[in-house]
Amino acid sequence: MAETVEFELVSPAELLLSEKVEMVVVPGGEGDFGVLPGHTDMISTVRAGQIDIHDGGKVTKSIFVEGGFAEVTSERCTVLAVSATPVADLDANAAAQRLEAATEAYKAAEGSDDEPKAKGELDIAEAMVVATKSN
């Protein structure tokens, strides 16, 4: 067995996942980053996208998160997600509908105080549609 990192995925409501993995790829605010054992200590934002857990050179689990934070140390990777769903459970239709609604809301909010919020929702919906297509 290769060296592993302790990966934890937590949402406000519960501890969703806590297991030892070989590598995990997290969608950071500045681009995806992979975490292997011995990673430097880091705190990063997480944008909406999918977290891939790699074991034995393959992706064993993909989970969609709606943004949050990641804390990485040499033996641990903790992701605090706003909400998380396994990619396999995502509903393509629901995602498409959400994107539609978000696009409209963004258009309506453009230039107003609500713009950043609408933009955030739009980003989440877009990432969700992308995640459903990768299935």
Partner 1 sequence: MANLKDLKIRIDSVKSTQKITSAMKMVAAAKLRKAQLSAEAARPYAERMERMAGSMARSFDGVDGAPALLAGNGSDQNQLFVVITGDRGLCGGFNGNVARETRRQIRTLQGEGKNCKIICLGRKGRDALKSEFGDMIVDTYEDLTRNGAQYDDAEKITDRIIGMFNNGEADVCTMVYTRFQSAMTQFVTPLQVIPFPTSSIKEVGAETAAGGLYEYEPSDDEILNDLLPRNLAVQFFRGLLESNASEHGSRMTAMDNATRNAGDMIDSLSLVYNRTRQANITSELIEIISGAEAV
**Chain contacts with partner 1 (rule: CB under 8 A):** 8, 10-15, 28-30, 33, 40-45, 69, 71, 73, 78, 80, 82
Give residue for tokens 């459970």. 89
Instruction: Name the residue nearer to partner 1 (CB basis): 117 or 133.
Output: 117
Instruction: Name the residue nearer to partner 1 (CB basis): 71 or 123.
Output: 71
Instruction: Name the residue nearer to partner 1 (CB basis): 31 or 111.
Output: 31
d(C-alpha 37, C-alpha 75), whole Å: 6
CB of 77 to partner 1, least distance (A): 12
Record the tokens describing residue 91, joined without a space: 């509903």
The dihedral sign for the CA sequence 31, 120, 72, 23? negative
CB of 98 to partner 1, least distance (A): 15
H or E stretch covering 114: none
d(C-alpha 67, C-alpha 70), whole Å: 10
Tell me if 74 sits within 8 A of 39, measured CB to CB: yes
Instruction: Name the residue nearer to partner 1 (CB basis): 1 or 13.
Output: 13
CB of 133 to partner 1, least distance (A): 27
Distance of CA 102 to the CA centre of its chain: 19
CB of 43 to partner 1, least distance (A): 5
